[in-house]
Amino acid sequence: MTRFRVATFARYAELLGGHDLDVELATPATVADLIAALRMLPGGAALPAAPLVAVNLNLADHSTPVAAGDEVALLPPLAGG
C-alpha cells in the first residue's frame, strides 16, 4: 500500500473536513482507484462520480496512473473570474 496526500479546495475541503486528505492505495494505482478511496472518506459519498483530479498540476483522466511522489489534487468545478 502507498499513502497519498491529496490536496483539495473550496467546497470539497468543507465536504471532506480539510484541505489535505490521506488515502492508501494498492499500487500500481490509477485516478479511478484514488477517487474510489476518496469517496470512502467521511463526507466523500457526496462527491460526484467523476470529480476533477489533477496529477502533477495537470488535469488527469480516470486511467491516469498515480505513483508515490506524485502531486495529487481533487478539484471542485472551476469557477474563477
Partner 1 sequence: MPLLSAGPIDPATLIAEHDAPGHGGLVVFVGRVRDAHHGRAVRALEYSAYPAMAEAEAAAILAEASTRWPVQVSACHRVGRLEVGEVAVVVVTSGGHRDESYAANRWVIDALKARVPIWKREWFADGTSEWVDPTAAMAP
Q: Which residues bind partner 1 (CB under 8 A)?
A: 7, 9-11, 14, 54, 57, 71, 73, 75-81
Specify the residue, 18 or 28, whose C-beta has the smaller distance to partner 1: 18
How many other CB atoms are there within 10 angstroms of residue 74's CB atom? Answer: 24
User: In terms of CB distance, is 5 or 11 closer to partner 1?
Assistant: 11
Closest CB to partner 1 among 1 and 78? 78
User: Measured from the CB of residue 79, what is the shortest distance to partner 1 in angstroms?
Assistant: 4
DSSP symbols for 27-55: SSEEHHHHHHHHHHSTTGGGS-SS-EEEE
| Under 8 Å between Cβ of 71 and 48 | no
